[in-house]
Structure 1
Amino acid sequence: MRSIVLTKGVPDFSEGAVSFDEDGHLERGKTPTVMNPNDEFAYQAALQTRVRHGGHVSGMSMGPPGYAEVLQEGMESVYANDSYLLSDRELAASDTWATAITLSAGLETYQEEVGDIDLVFAGFKSADGETGQTGPQTSWAMDWPIVTHVLALDVDPDERLVRAKRLVEGDVDEIETVEAPMPCMIVTDPEFEPSYHKASHRLTHKQLRAETQDRAADHDEHLTTWSQEDLNLDPDYIGLDGSPTIVSSVDPIPKAPSEREATMIDPDDERGMEQVLEEMQPYAAEAGD
Structure 2
Amino acid sequence: MRSIALTKGVPDFSEGSVSFDEDGHLERGKTPTVMNPNDERALQAALQTKVRHGGHVSGMSMGPPGYSNVLQETMESVYTDDSYLLSDRELAASDTWATAITLSAGLETYRENVADIDLVFAGFKTADGETGQTGPQTCWAMDWPIVTHVLALDIDPEERTLRAKRLVEGNVDEIETVEAPLPCFVVTDPEFEPTYRKASHRLTRKRLRAETEARAADHDERLTVWDHTDLNLDPDYIGLDGSPTIVSSVDPIPKAPSEREATMVDPDDERGMEAVLGELQPYATGD
Q: TM-score, normalised by structure 1?
A: 0.93
| 1:108-139 deviations in Å (ceiling 9; x for gaps) | 10011110000000000000001111111110
Q: Is the 8 A contact 2:121 2:188 kept in 1?
A: yes
**Structure 2 unaligned residues grouped into runs of 5+:** none
| 1:42-62 deviations in Å (ceiling 9; x for gaps) | 100000000000000000000
2:230 maps to 1:242: no
Aligned to 2:119: 119
| 1:145-189 deviations in Å (ceiling 9; x for gaps) | 000000000001111100000000000110000000111000000
Measured in 2, the distance between the counterparts of 1:99 and 1:258 equals: 38
The 3-state SS of whatever aligns with 2:180 is strand
Aligned to 1:110: 110
Q: Is the 8 A contact 2:28 2:64 kept in 1?
A: no
Q: Is the 8 A contact 1:101 1:138 kept in 2?
A: yes
Aligned to 1:157: 157
Q: Is the 8 A contact 2:29 2:66 kept in 1?
A: no
Q: Is the 8 A contact 2:46 2:121 kept in 1?
A: yes
Measured in 2, the distance between the counterparts of 1:115 and 1:161 equals: 19
Aligned to 1:198: 198
1:258 positional shift: 2.1
The 3-state SS of whatever aligns with 2:51 is helix
Letter of the 1:177 counterpart: T
Aligned to 2:18: 19
Measured in 2, the distance between the counterparts of 1:141 and 1:287 equals: 63
Aligned to 2:178: 178
The 3-state SS of whatever aligns with 1:124 is coil
Over 3 Å counting, the alpha-carbon distance change for 1:247 and 1:157 in structure 2 is same
Aligned to 2:132: 132
Q: Is the 8 A contact 1:17 1:32 kept in 2?
A: no
Aligned to 1:62: 62
2:221 maps to 1:213: no
Over 3 Å counting, the alpha-carbon distance change for 1:31 and 1:218 in structure 2 is same
The 3-state SS of whatever aligns with 2:101 is helix
1:31 positional shift: 3.1
Over 3 Å counting, the alpha-carbon distance change for 1:278 and 1:194 in structure 2 is closer
| 1:44-89 deviations in Å (ceiling 9; x for gaps) | 0000000000000000000000000011111111111110000010
Q: Is the 8 A contact 1:24 1:251 kept in 2?
A: no
Measured in 2, the distance between the counterparts of 1:60 and 1:160 equals: 23
Measured in 2, the distance between the counterparts of 1:43 and 1:91 equals: 24
Measured in 1, the distance between the counterparts of 2:30 and 2:263 equals: 31
**1:27-46 map, 5 Å:** 28-46=28-46
1:273 positional shift: 1.4
Q: Is the 8 A contact 1:92 1:239 kept in 2?
A: yes
Aligned to 2:88: 88
Over 3 Å counting, the alpha-carbon distance change for 1:100 and 1:256 in structure 2 is same
1:272 positional shift: 2.5
- Supply the RMSD in Å over aligned alpha carbons: 2.1
Measured in 2, the distance between the counterparts of 1:66 and 1:81 equals: 19
Measured in 2, the distance between the counterparts of 1:41 and 1:111 equals: 24
1:251 positional shift: 2.2
1:260 positional shift: 2.3
Letter of the 1:174 counterpart: E
Q: TM-score, normalised by structure 2?
A: 0.94
**1:264-283 map, 5 Å:** 264-280=264-280, 283=282
2:247 maps to 1:263: no
The 3-state SS of whatever aligns with 1:175 is strand
Measured in 2, the distance between the counterparts of 1:159 and 1:117 equals: 16
Measured in 1, the distance between the counterparts of 2:19 and 2:264 equals: 28
Measured in 2, the distance between the counterparts of 1:30 and 1:259 equals: 32
Letter of the 1:204 counterpart: T
Aligned to 2:79: 79
Over 3 Å counting, the alpha-carbon distance change for 1:116 and 1:23 in structure 2 is closer
The 3-state SS of whatever aligns with 2:131 is coil
1:279 positional shift: 4.1
1:19 positional shift: 3.1
Measured in 1, the distance between the counterparts of 2:271 and 2:75 equals: 57
The 3-state SS of whatever aligns with 1:207 is helix
